[in-house]
Chains A and B, each alone.
Chain A
C-alpha cells in the first residue's frame, strides 16, 4: 500500500512540475513585455529595475523558471498589482470560501445524484428510470451560470426569500457557519450542485445496472439473499467508483468556480480570478491558477490512492 502510494507520488511529480511550468509560462504568453505585466503602470524606472533584478527578467527563460519555482516552494507567490498585498495572502483568504461552497455543492450533488442514479439503475427502463435519467441529463446540459441567474430571478428578485449576492450580510469577506450566512450559501451551492448531480447520477446508474446484471447477483438471489442483502452488495461494489467520481467533481468545482462566483459575487478564488483578469493583475492570476491546479493534482492523487484502498482490484501501473 505504501509502495503504491509512493509510486503514485513519483508518477505525479513530473506532471506537477509540468503544471507549474505552464503556469509560469502564462505570464510570458501575455502580449507585451512580461515585466510590465507584473508591475503597476505607474512604476518608476527604479522600481522596474528592482523588479527586473528580483525576478531575473533579463536572464534566460529556464533560469527565470528556476527562480520563480524556488520562490513558490517557499510560499512566495508574488505581489498583487492591484492591491499591493502578497498573492499568497489573497489566495489563502479566498480558498476557504471556495472550498466551503464547493464542498457543500458536491455533497448536495452527490446525495441527489446517487439517489437518482440508484433509483434509475434499480428500476431500469421503467418510467422512474426515464424520469431520473431526464433529470440527470438536465443537470449536465444546463449552463450553470444561467441556472444561477434563473434561481436569483425566482428566489431573490421575485420572491425575495434569499439574498442574490455575497457571502454574508454587509458584504462580509468570508463565510462563517451561522444562520445568517447560511442563507447566502443556499443559492450558489444549489446552482453549483447541478453538474455534479448530473454526472454522478449517470455514473451511478450505469454502475448499478451493471452490477445487477451480473450473473452472480442472480445466484445470490437464488440462494435466498433478500433484497436488502442484494442492496448492500450493490452499494459495496458501486461505492469506490462513485466516491472517486465525487472526489473528482469536487476538484472540478473548485477549479471551475469562477462562473458561479461571478454570478453570486462569492468572495472565493473564482471571484479573485475574475478580478485578476480584468485588472490585468498577472501575478494574482498566475498565483491563483497555480494554487487551484495544484489542488486538483493533489486531489486526484488522494482519490486515486483512496480508491485503491477501497477496492484493491483497481491499481494503475
Chain B
C-alpha cells in the first residue's frame, strides 16, 4: 500500500499535481506555393486547467473537441506549439524536472486495447519493458510484472506467458493498466480506456480503477464521451468544445447546475431512466463545426439557443468561482449579454 509518498510529493498538498496553461496545438499542412488550402486544424487552442493531487478529473466532449490531443500533449507524445505544463510545481523539461523523469511519473492507458500491445511480446514482457528500460534487472522486472498482474485481477500463473491475441478485451485493458502502473506513476491518464469494452466488463474495469487509485495513491485524468461513466468516476469535470475549455467544475455541481449551454445540451441528451425527465426540444442544433475553421467569437454560438450578437464577436473566457467556471457570456455578469439584463 503506497500512500502519497512524502518523498515524492515535492510540491506539498496545496500544489496541483498538474497545471496546464495556454496549451496549444495546431496541425497544419505546410504552406506551399501550389497548395490549394493552407488548412490548419486548431485541435487544442489555449487550454487551461489543473488536476489536484489525489483527485480524478474527468474530461468530456464530442469527437474532435481535442480531448485526446490534450492527453497526448500532457504525455508529451506530441510536442505543444505553445503553453506550459507544470508537474507538481515544476516545468516539464526544465532543469528541475527532466523529460525522462516526468515520463516515469505520468502514464497513459489507450482506448484500443489490442493496438496498444505489441503482438510479439508476452504479457509479462510487455509490463516489464518499462521498468527494464529504466534500469531494473530482468528478474526484478518480471517479478514486478507478476505482482501487478495479481493486483489487476489476472492470475500470473495463467496470464503471464500469454500473448495479446490469446486474451479478451477486458483482460487486455487490465494488462494495459498493469503496464502503466509498472513505472509507479503518480498521474494516470485514461483516454477512453473503457469505451471499447462491453458494459459488464466496463463496470469491472472501472471498479478496478477505483480500487487501484486508493491502493497506489494515484491521480487520474479520465477522458470519455460517456457522461454517466464520467460522473461515476470523477471528482471534477472539464467540458471541452472545439479545442477550448467550455466549463470546468466539481462533478456534482456541474451535472446538476451546468453553467454553459453546451454542457446543458450534452446532459439533456443523456438518456434517463426517469420518465419525468423528458427532453422537449432538440438540445443541439446543426452539426459540429469543423475544427479547421472555427466560428468567430464564441465557438459554440452557431448552435447555441441563447446566442446573441455579442457571442459572434467576443470570445468568452472562463469566469465564475474557483470551483465552477464556464466560458460563456451568460456566466459573466459583466459581459453585457442581453439575457442577463432581464
Contacts and interface: CB of A to CB of B under 8 A. Distances in A.
A and B from one complex? yes
A3 B36 CA distance: 10
Interface string B12-52: 00000000000000000000001000000000000000000
A6 B34 CA distance: 9
Interface string B165-182: 000000000000000000
Contacts of B34: 3, 6-7
A185 B4 CA distance: 87
A7 B32 CA distance: 10
B31 to A, nearest CB: 14
Nearest to B32: A7
A6 B32 CA distance: 13
Main secondary structure of the interface of A (DSSP, over half): helix
B313 to A, nearest CB: 37
Contacts of A6: 34
A3 B34 CA distance: 7
A7 B33 CA distance: 9
A66 B34 CA distance: 30
A3 B33 CA distance: 10
B199 to A, nearest CB: 33
Looking at chain A, what size class is its interface with the partner chain?
Answer: under 10
Interface in B234-281: none
A111 B34 CA distance: 39
A317 to B, nearest CB: 10
Nearest to B29: A317
A121 B34 CA distance: 40
Interface string A1-19: 0010011000000000000
A112 B34 CA distance: 41
A13 B134 CA distance: 47
Nearest to B36: A3
A287 B34 CA distance: 35
Interface in A50-105: none
B214 to A, nearest CB: 51
A64 B318 CA distance: 66
Contacts of A3: 34
A184 B34 CA distance: 50
Nearest to A7: B34
Interface string A103-130: 0000000000000000000000000000
A292 B244 CA distance: 57
A41 B34 CA distance: 53
Nearest to A10: B34
A7 B34 CA distance: 7
Interface in A1-51: 3, 6-7
Interface string B193-229: 0000000000000000000000000000000000000
B204 to A, nearest CB: 40
A8 to B, nearest CB: 10
A11 to B, nearest CB: 10
B45 to A, nearest CB: 27
B180 to A, nearest CB: 36
A41 B102 CA distance: 70
A100 B185 CA distance: 71
Interface in A146-162: none
A13 to B, nearest CB: 14
A7 B35 CA distance: 10
A6 B33 CA distance: 11
B226 to A, nearest CB: 34
A7 to B, nearest CB: 5
Contacts of A7: 34
B74 to A, nearest CB: 31
A3 B35 CA distance: 9
Nearest to A3: B34
A87 B34 CA distance: 39
Interface string A133-177: 000000000000000000000000000000000000000000000
Interface string A251-278: 0000000000000000000000000000
B185 to A, nearest CB: 39
A26 B23 CA distance: 53
A33 B34 CA distance: 46
Interface in A272-296: none
Nearest first, the 3 A-B pairs at minimum CB distance are A7-B34, A3-B34, A6-B34
3 contacts: A3-B34, A6-B34, A7-B34
